[in-house]
Amino acid sequence: MAQNPLYNFIGQNVFGEESMEFRNSLGNYETESFNDIQHLMYFSAGVEIVYSSKDDKISGIFLLGHDQMWYEPYANELPMGLKWEMTKSEVETLLGKGTEHHIYGNDYVYHYPEHFISIKYISEIENPKMEKIQIRSFEKEDFPTTDTIGSGNIDMRTDSEISKITNLFSSESDKKTS
């Protein structure tokens, strides 16, 4: 099984020539920052690139599936022969059992370190399908850089998303006062 070319970007400088060529191929992006972690969000491509502002090295690439807030599904080739329609049991038949890690609320992510990926499955069903895949390294102990999509954390969206969020909260507020 050929390795997905996205693996080559992990650890590279986000502003390097190859990284910039890849980033430009994804279209327009918006940014989000949290402490020293920077997110480049490519809503129309279904990709989120995460890097550290301390060294500008890419630490993770999120590929987002169906039903992701603000994101179109990632439509290109997934790592390891995965397909968005695959269930958790189908993924584990292909990759082996993942290691479960609690991330927030009732959500868990499954790490497959030998394949350099983490997968979050849709949590509300018995044999869930993949929701998002993170391509990452497992070398550093502090490396799990999570995205903030739907995490229940303070949403730090910028640019065009501010008006959508404001309208959402205004609508909710209007419902409560009616």
* Residue from 22, 94, 96 nearest 61 by CA: 22
Question: How deeply is 4 buried, as exposed, middle or buried, from its count of CB atoms within 10 A (0-12, 13-18, 19+)?
Answer: buried
The rounded distance, in Å, linking the Cα atoms of 141 and 8 is 21
Q: 105 pLDDT band (50/70/90 cuts)?
A: confident
With bands split at pLDDT 50, 70 and 90, how would you rate the model's confidence at 140? low
Phi, psi for residue 110 in degrees, rounded to 5? -115, 125
Question: Which of 46-55, 62-71, 102-111 ranks highest by mean pLDDT?
Answer: 46-55
76-101 confidence digits (pLDDT tens): 999 999 999 999 999 999 999 999 98
Pair type for strands 99-104 and 30-34: unpaired
